[in-house]
């Protein structure tokens, strides 16, 4: 008889999924050594060894399902595997699962069922089969009463979701996609300057003040003049990091994004209010793999 403790023990030894461990024990009449060998022959027992390898490539994918938008990043070790059809299909399946079941976070997502096993187990199988470490890094799900649109740049290098309170029509969607392209290109940190915390403002202000006082050209200037200079620089920074204050990249004049949205709203006779945006860039903030060809060749001939 195969007990839960046996399955648990085999899983801890191999890092394989529960269903794979149970199947291995079933196929080998509950012989632990034979089950371990069974998993090794299938390649599943090597998946855990790959889990420590750097995975900073991969893809950012999006999905729009009615009023629900999903943005998902899944990483692999190489760009070559990220283009693999099986890898791409797996990411699509996971994105659809997020849209349908609304898991709370990545850990909850990994516990969801996908094709008769958990997402975590399915991921382990893909690692074993494809031969590279892979990781479901993050996702964002927007469920709106308004409109949500997506934009994917450079075949999954950057992905964007934009949510707005607005009527759902072609003009609105076109405007929001233009905004999504702006976000992909200029990477704003905030929706507007109203969203910037006072703590951040004071921190930036203190840095600019210190820089200004270090400049010999400002030695004779009174504090109130320096203060005005600093506020000017701070406002200029907000125009770079706050979406609504950014200069709209497709504008022929100096119109900002808010001006563009207001113009579209006036044209269609219906208000558009930007609510939220999400931007993922593949591998941002992750350690990058450095190729060591000498080491690679040495490992190949061992």
The pLDDT averaged over each successive group of 10 residues in the chain (302 residues) is 88 73 92 84 62 83 98 94 93 98 98 94 86 93 98 97 98 98 97 93 88 86 87 90 96 92 97 98 84 48 44
pLDDT score, position 186: 96
Burial of 14 (0-12, 13-18, 19+ CB in 10 A): buried
Among 255, 248, 262, 245, smallest CA distance to 196 is for: 245
Quick check: 274 and 177 in contact, CB under 8 A?
A: no
Measured distance CA(288)–CA(114) in Å, rounded? 30
Q: Indicate left, alpha or beta for 115 from its phi (over 0: left) and psi (-120 to 50: alpha).
A: left
Torsions phi, psi for 71 (to 5 deg): -125, 130
Return the structure tokens found at 3.
């007990």
- Give the residue extent of every domain in the chain: 4-50
C-alpha to C-alpha distance for 163 and 275, rounded to whole angstroms: 6
Contact call for residues 134 and 76 (beta carbons, < 8 A): yes
Tokens linked to 193: 């300057």
Tokens of 186: 């200029």
Q: Which long-range contacts (CB under 8 A, 24 or more apart) does 75-84 make?
A: 75/134, 75/135, 75/137, 75/282, 75/283, 75/286, 76/130, 76/132, 76/133, 76/134, 77/53, 77/132, 77/133, 77/134, 77/289, 78/132, 81/57, 81/130, 81/132, 81/134, 82/57, 82/58, 82/156, 84/130
pTM, two decimal places: 0.78
Q: What's the confidence (pLDDT) of residue 48?
A: 58
Tokens 């046996």 locate to: 6
- Rounded CA separation 140/280 (Å): 9
Q: How many Å apart are CA 177 and CA 163, to the nearest integer?
A: 10
How far, in Å, CA of 50 to CA of 134, rounded?
9
Rounded distance, CA 50 to CA 75, Å? 13
148: exposed, middle or buried (C-beta count within 10 Å: 0-12, 13-18, 19+)? buried
Return the pLDDT at 193: 92
Q: What are phi and psi of 221, to 5 degrees?
A: -85, 140
The span from the CA of 230 to the CA of 250, in Å, is 29
CATH architecture of 4-50: Orthogonal Bundle (1.10)
Residue 290 has a pLDDT of: 61
């Amino acid at each position: 008889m195969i007990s839960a403790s046996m399955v648990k023990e085999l899983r801890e030894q191999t890092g394989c999924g529960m269903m794979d461990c149970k199947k291995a024990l079933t196929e080998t009449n509950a012989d632990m050594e034979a089950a371990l060998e069974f998993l090794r022959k299938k390649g599943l027992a090597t998946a855990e060894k790959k889990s420590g390898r750097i995975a900073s490539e991969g893809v950012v994918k999006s999905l729009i399902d009615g009023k629900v938008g999903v943005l998902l990043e899944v990483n692999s070790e190489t760009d070559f595997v990220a283009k693999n059809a099986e890898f791409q299909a797996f990411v699509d399946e996971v994105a659809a699962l997020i849209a349908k079941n609304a898991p709370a976070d990545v850990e909850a997502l990994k516990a969801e069922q996908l094709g008769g096993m958990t997402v975590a187990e399915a991921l382990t199988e893909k690692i074993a089969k494809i031969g590279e470490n892979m990781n479901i890094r993050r996702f964002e799900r927007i469920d709106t009463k308004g409109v949500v649109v997506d934009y994917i740049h450079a075949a999954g290098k950057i992905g964007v979701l934009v949510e707005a309170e607005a009527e759902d029509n072609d003009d609105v969607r076109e405007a929001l996609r233009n905004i999504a392209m702006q976000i992909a290109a200029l990477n704003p940190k905030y929706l507007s300057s109203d969203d910037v915390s006072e703590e951040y403002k004071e921190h930036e202000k203190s840095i600019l003040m210190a820089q200004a006082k270090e400049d010999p050209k400002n030695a004779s200037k009174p504090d109130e003049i320096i203060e005005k200079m600093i506020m000017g620089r701070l406002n200029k920074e907000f125009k770079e990091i706050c979406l609504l204050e950014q200069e709209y990249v497709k504008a022929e004049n100096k119109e900002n994004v808010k001006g563009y949205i207001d113009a579209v709203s006036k044209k269609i006779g219906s208000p558009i209010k930007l609510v939220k945006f999400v931007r993922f860039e593949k591998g941002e903030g992750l350690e990058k793999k450095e190729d060591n060809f000498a080491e690679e060749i040495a490992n190949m001939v061992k």
